[in-house]
């Protein structure tokens, strides 16, 4: 199983990059740079590419609305070039709060747009002509004049390092999960609960896998989690509280009622009543109460927190449910302890 780590997007990035050599020695395989509504992740990924030599780097994630499909393809090709073929393009639909509220763009047709973005990116990397034709992004037409009076279709000037940059889709909804299993090299679900994964995702994964192109490798399931390996009860409780607050923010606050994908996922995991309570409390401004309402079973199920024996059991549960990459955020208070936890996690995952 691969070991990944998300990079913080809200401060301390340069200091974390300085420490990456220690994580790499500890067995880290890949780092994911998120992009929410802080600094853009592309500039930081370029910085990472210059400061590292063998570590995989990935966007985790770029939304599919604020950049055109061709720009996403150009960006991925450029980052793959400056990193010497180490880049993975992670994309996702994000949600209305970011796309509409922050970027001022309509959040429409996420499934169709994701498919179009994927196919256009791969055409750009293969240096095939691309032309915008109509109100939506469309695949290039075969007509001789190259489009609707827009002139000759264009293709990428540079020759990419790889004709196929690996693509990962962050997806939670049934149709998007099926699309990940059909078209993408990897799939990234947030707060992955192994015991509920089959009920939440199984039918969609099976549906997409049945249409998967034979040239694609086995789907890399990249699960976001948190890690703190400790025998100390107080440290364990503090780490679990961080996870509890993280879950409350997403389940309770990332979207209004009926438009919160993370709340929907929690319900699919079997925590219907808790999901409703968390959302009611969070939207009412009672964030501490919302965090307290997150079930302990969910907190412990989605994280890797506790003694080595317990973490080993959880790693096994993740693997048996289909996870192939652990994108684990270390929660220990010091850099030395965080590196140690990554090293231990590598050993427990072997």
Percentage with pLDDT > 90 across the chain: 82
Whether the per-residue pLDDT at 288 is higher than 80: the answer is yes
Q: What is the pLDDT of residue 136?
A: 58
Mean pLDDT in residue range 27-31? 96
Q: Residues 51, 24: contact at Cβ < 8 Å? A: no
Do the domain assignments include residue 290? no
Q: What is the pLDDT of residue 146?
A: 44
Whether the per-residue pLDDT at 140 is higher than 50: the answer is no
pLDDT digits 0-9 by tens, 65-108: 999 999 999 999 999 999 999 999 999 999 888 899 999 999 99
Range of the structural domain that residue 114 is part of: 2-226+309-349
Q: What is the pLDDT of residue 141?
A: 41
Q: 93-107, 127-141, 310-324 — which one is most confidently predicted on average? A: 310-324
Do the domain assignments include residue 258? no
Predicted TM-score (pTM) of the model is 0.92
Do the domain assignments include residue 161? yes
pLDDT digits 0-9 by tens, 221-257: 999 999 999 999 999 999 999 999 999 999 999 888 9
Rounded to the nearest integer, the mean pLDDT of the chain is 92
Tell me the CATH number at 151. Answer: 3.20.20.30
Do the domain assignments include residue 240? no
pLDDT digits 0-9 by tens, 170-218: 999 999 999 999 999 999 999 999 999 999 999 999 999 999 999 999 9
pLDDT digits 0-9 by tens, 109-123: 999 999 999 999 999
Do the domain assignments include residue 163? yes
From the list 132, 48, 37, the residue with the least C-alpha distance to 82 is 48
What residues does 328 pair with on adjacent strands?
A: 225
Q: Residues 201, 124: contact at Cβ < 8 Å? A: no
Do the domain assignments include residue 303? no
Do the domain assignments include residue 11? yes
Do the domain assignments include residue 244? no
Q: What is the pLDDT of residue 259?
A: 85
Please state the domain count of the chain: 1
């Amino acid at each position: 199983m691969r070991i990944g780590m998300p990079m913080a997007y809200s401060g301390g990035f340069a200091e974390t990059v300085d420490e990456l050599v220690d994580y790499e020695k500890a067995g880290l395989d890949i780092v994911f740079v998120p992009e929410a509504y802080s600094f853009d992740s592309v500039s930081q990924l370029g910085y990472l590419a210059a400061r590292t030599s063998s570590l995989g780097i990935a966007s985790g994630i770029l939304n599919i609305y604020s950049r055109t499909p061709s720009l996403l393809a150009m960006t991925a090709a450029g980052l793959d070039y400056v990193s010497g073929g180490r880049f993975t393009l992670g994309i996702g639909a994000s949600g209305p709060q970011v796309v509409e509220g922050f970027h001022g763009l309509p959040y429409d047709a996420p499934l169709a747009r994701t498919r179009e973005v994927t196919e256009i990116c791969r055409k750009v990397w293969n240096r095939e002509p691309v032309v915008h034709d109509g109100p939506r992004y469309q695949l290039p037409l075969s007509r001789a004049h190259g489009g609707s009076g827009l002139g000759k279709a264009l293709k990428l000037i540079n020759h990419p390092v790889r004709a196929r940059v690996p693509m990962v889709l962050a997806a939670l909804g049934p149709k998007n999960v099926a699309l990940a299993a059909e078209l993408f090299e990897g799939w990234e679900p947030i707060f992955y609960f192994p015991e509920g994964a089959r009920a939440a995702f199984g039918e969609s994964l099976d549906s997409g896998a049945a249409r998967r192109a034979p040239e694609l490798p086995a789907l890399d399931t990249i699960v976001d989690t948190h890690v703190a390996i400790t025998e100390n009860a107080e440290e364990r409780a503090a780490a679990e509280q961080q996870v509890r607050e993280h879950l409350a923010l997403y389940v309770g606050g990332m979207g209004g009622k009926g438009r919160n994908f993370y709340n929907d996922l929690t319900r699919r995991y079997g925590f219907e009543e808790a999901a409703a309570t968390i959302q009611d409390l969070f939207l009412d401004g009672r964030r501490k109460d919302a965090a307290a309402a997150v079930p302990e079973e969910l907190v412990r199920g989605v994280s890797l927190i506790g003694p080595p024996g317990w973490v080993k059991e959880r790693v096994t549960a993740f693997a048996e449910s289909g996870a192939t990459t652990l994108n684990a955020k270390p929660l220990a208070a010091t850099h030395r302890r965080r590196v140690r936890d990554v090293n231990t996690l590598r050993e427990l995952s072997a």
